[in-house]
Amino acid sequence: MKLSRMGTLMLVAGGALTVTAACSAQDPQPTQPDAPRAAQQAAAQQGPAVQRVVLSEGSDRTASRSAGNWATYADHVLVVTVVGETRHPVLKKEAERGEGLIARTVSLRVDNVLWSAPDAPQPAPTEVKLAAAGWLFNNHSGPVETKIAIRDSARLEVGHTYIKALEWIDDPCSGDPEKGSWEGLGSGDTIPYDTGVPGAGEFEGQVRTADQSKARTRLDTDEARTLRGQVISGTPVSALVSGLRVARPAAEGYLPQECDPADN
């Protein structure tokens, strides 16, 4: 029976957020009436427009940056597409204050199973619901909502596809091994994968091309050493799968998870 390990998942409804940076859309520049078509085409080739997203820090539930981490903690590595999202009601005290967090749950469709742990307690799912970063709201100067994303992590946006590592966690309030939930590992457990191209798609709430993701990875030596960075930089997905098959899982330090009836 798998039990929850030490580590906190930041995406708890009403949980505190540490806002560390804001990425704002660039102010539109006035268009000259006689602007050449070539300049417009060049602007279009720069990639998707930058959206306003607040980046927040979060704590990883488990290690997730290397093939060894995935082999140790993940039960399945899947190709998933986000097919829906649910907004949750804000807490009463935050509604009264006029500012706070709107929590979000996303629905994932499983498109392909890339790898499964030999001792996976449950078969790979066909669909998954996960907590995901939502929105900040502030109604003091009129209703305003701003997307939140976790730094160095995918936000999981509707319509986008990802490679994602998941682990099954047993329900601590039940002795039934069929009861539990699928959970991500940490910020390194997700790779953008639109149209089957590593690095293409959403990351930190921004949509990037594969070339943009590669350029970002080259500038970040820490990211370049991660499993995600290696795949984005050109390591084939088939090599990722082969690496997981031969990786030696580390000893897992499980901690008993106490039953909280309020969670059921």
* Residue 201 to residue 191: CA distance in whole angstroms: 9
pLDDT, one tens digit per residue, over 191-207 is 999 999 999 999 999 99
Domain boundaries, the chain: 50-247
Please tell me the predicted confidence (pLDDT) of residue 26.
36
* Residue with the two structure tokens 């930058």: 50
Note the pLDDT of residue 3: 44
pLDDT at 165: 98
Structure confidence at residue 140 (pLDDT): 86
- What pLDDT does 174 receive? 76
Side chain identity at residue 15, one-letter code: G
Cβ neighbours of 73 (radius 10 Å): 25
Regions of the chain with pLDDT less than 50 = 1-45
pTM for the full predicted model: 0.80
Paired with 165 in beta bridges are: 77
Nearest residue to 190 via CA among 214, 215, 161, 217 = 161
